[in-house]
Amino acid sequence: MRRFFLFLPWLMLVGVSLAQAGAVTDSPKLKIIASHYPLAYFAERIGGNRVVVNQPSPPGEDPAFWKPNAKAVGDMQKADLILLNGADYEKWLPRVSLSKFKLADTSATFRNEFIRIENAVTHSHGPGGMHSHEGTAFTTWLDFGQAGKQADATAQAMIRKRPELKTLFLENLKTLQADLAGLDAELKAIAALKPGLALFASHPVYQYLARRYGLNLKSVHWEPNEMPGKEEWEELQKSLAAHPARWMIWEDRPDPEIADKLQSLGLKSLVFSPCANRPESGDFLEVMKENLENLRSAMH
Amino acid sequence: MQHDFYLAWRYLRHHRTRSLILIVCLSLLAVLPLALHILLDEGERLMTARAEATPLLVGAKGSAMDLTFNALYFSESTQTRITMAEADRIALTGWADPLAIHARFRVKGHPLVGVSLDYFDFRRLSLWSGQMLAMLGECVLGAEAAESLGLKPGDSLLTSPENLFDLAGVYPLKLHVVGVLGKSHSPDDQAVFVDLQTAWVMEGLGHGHAEAASSPFDPADLAADAKRVTYTEITPENLDSFHFHGDPANYPISAVIALPHDHKSGVLLRGRYLSAEDAAQIVLPLESTRGLLQNIFRVGALFDGVLLLVGSATLLVLGLVFALSLRLRQGEIHTIFLLGCSRATVVRLVGAEILLLVVAGGALSWALLVWIQCYAGDWVRHFVIS
């Protein structure tokens, strides 16, 4: 009997711990909608198996120019949390009705550092139709310092919705931020190999990448699967005189005809995918590591 | 005794007009003060419940009562408006969640209220039919608004400009009714709800227009610009052409309901609005409402006093009428006496008549009070609160 009383406090402690653990595992999975894949990846890394993350835009469509229909809005309304990139990425946002309490603008903490794009050209590609990149540059996550801040905002928004999972979320955030910091350091080291090296970008989506890592980047408006017109080639040749680049950065592998024609002008192609959509294989981290290796080849 | 009541009943029935007038007078004497109290109590209950459910209210400096009534009961207001920056300011404190309300417009006599979807969760308003707001240009109707406008999901509702001569003023917009809310027995039943963004389209801050065919850099387009067709209906085809101008933080709203995370957060938030230079004020709706209710109760007490005097005078008049009628019935009473009835029988007959009149008056009063009780909430919402 005396032995039982000696063990009683321990039994109570174990009981309370088990009850707390039960409460954590019993909480329903957090339903998250992320407006693009990097945010979905951050949420999945932070939330682990405690979250269900969906990206509403279809796989073949650029999430930056995707427009939700009433059904997609209805699905978003059912989510617990909607992760937004901010920086004018979600152009559909003013035209839909969503709960403000569910929205989390992940770039709000660095909105004073957004890059403004003036006099952008209107062009068309993919199912999104005609569009322009005028306004605010939105591929904020290609600056891995900013990506870390967006990951932090994602974690804070998730904690607000599931405070009982705070410890788990913060632990996972720490490992994610370590990975992003690793990418940041590596890219800085790669960019330092040839500072000021002239580069071309096939699309104006690398503004934050160029700013953070000091890349001497000039953008055109080309698509990897659309052969540019005669005027665009002439324009490129003129630009090459002022900006003698040896590499053009692409969002995706360009068609061989385009790559060959570029090669004839002395421009090699490399892929640095913004990874706005879920990749067919691998994940955000793997795609970014591949991007870094591709960029390293230009810097050697 | 049974015969006394039978004779009294026959007498009252014979003089039915006079009897009816006496019954109505007696019942009104009882009903008026009681009905007034029922309405006051119902008003107090409704107003207190709505105010209690609204922890804090932020709006432009001025009348706290006006602010409370505009934000809680969607009454028309002359209050200066605030901007969305105030909602952002509350959110940034991390102490409370802001619920912005735009209650400037009215459509066919009903308040047109711009809110975010969170408002429906906050007020526990659920759909009775149709679906919730999803896209720009949609509206959901309160139960009574849907009934009085005769609208259902799938119908449309055209808003009207405030002033026909104000060409740059409020934008007439054809709203698509997508849902009807269940009855909540609150001012929400009377409202037509739109998303805040739709309200701003009506303000003229956002619009959609057909693009000019020429290049955006074509000087001819400057002339075309003025002739561009501005859409008055938001459809899936022109939805993408709708856009907003200016900084969203400067968009106008009527008030913000602040939902503090706990008591301490609420106190801290109130502390943020103590500065005399602040253009905004924070009010406790319950305090504003209680202030108003105290005034109403003072008026109610005055009414009680007046009704007491009027009631006493009416009773005296009724007594006089009865006494005079007895004098008129002298011949009849004498005949009863000659027939062999005692004086006590005559007194019993008259007593039975009075008792029947009082019982009939009481029954009518009770019926009227039950009826008033049933509709008191609706009347208070229609004639007092809205």
Residue B217 lies in a domain: no
**Same structural domain for residues B64 and B191?**
yes
Residue range(s) defining the domain that contains residue B79: 56-205+245-283
- Statement to judge: residues B186 and B266 lie in one domain: yes
- A28 near B CB under 8 A: no
Which pLDDT does position A191 carry in this prediction?
93
Residue numbers in A near B135 (CB within 8 A): 70, 73, 95-97
Residues B129, B257, single domain; the answer is yes
The reply to whether A20-177 and A185-299 are identical in fold is yes
Query: Cβ neighbours of residue A99 under 8 Å, at least 6 residues apart?
Result: A77, B116, B117, B118, B121
Q: Which residue has the higher pLDDT, A65 or A127?
A: A65
Chain A residues whose CB is inside 8 A of the B216 CB are 122
Query: What DSSP state is assigned to residue A91?
Result: T
pLDDT at A125 over 70: no
**Ranges of H-type helices in chain A:** 2-26, 37-47, 70-78, 144-161, 166-191, 207-213, 230-242, 256-264, 284-299
Going by pLDDT thresholds of 50, 70 and 90, the confidence category of residue B218 is very low
Query: Would you place residue A10 in the very low, low, confident or very high pLDDT band (cuts 50, 70, 90)?
Result: low
Instruction: Confirm whether B317 is domain-assigned.
Output: yes
Tokens of B137: 């240009």
User: What gap in Å lies between CA B148 and CA B103, rounded to an integer?
Assistant: 20
A111, A266, B260, B265 from B270: Cα distances, Å:
28, 66, 10, 9
Chain B positions contacting chain A at CB under 8 Å are: 97-98, 116-118, 121, 131-136, 138, 195, 197, 206, 216, 236, 239-240, 242-244
Give the domain-ending residue among B265, B283, B301: B283
Q: Which pLDDT does position B29 carry in this prediction?
A: 85
Q: Are both B273 and B305 inside the same structural domain?
A: no
Does the beta-carbon distance from A95 to B135 stay under 8 Å? yes
Top-ranked range on mean pLDDT: pick from A22-31, A45-54, A213-222, B297-306: A45-54
Distance from CA of A198 to the nearest CA of B (A): 31
Closest alpha carbon within chain A to B197 = A94
Number of domains in chain B: 2
Above 0.90 for ipTM, yes or no? no
Q: How far apart are CA A155 and CA A217, in angstroms?
A: 32
B147 plus B258 within the same structural domain? yes
Q: Are residues B87 and B176 in the same domain?
A: yes
A119 vs B: CB within 8 A: no
Residues B132 and B265 reside in one and the same domain = yes
Residue at a domain's end among B283, B303, B330: B283
Domain boundaries, chain A: 20-177, 185-299
Nearest C-alpha of chain B: how many angstroms from A100? 7
Domain topology for A20-177: Rossmann fold (3.40.50)
The mean per-residue pLDDT over the stretch A284-300 comes to 92
Maximum average pLDDT range among A57-66, A82-91, B15-24, B285-294? A82-91
Domain assignment present for B237: no
Q: Is the pTM of this model over 0.95?
A: no
Instruction: Flag whether residue A78 sits within 8 Å of chain B, measured between CB atoms.
Output: no
Is B125 a member of any domain?
Answer: yes
Classify domain A185-299 at the CATH superfamily level: Nitrogenase molybdenum iron protein domain (3.40.50.1980)
Percent of chain A past pLDDT 90, that is, above it, reads 71
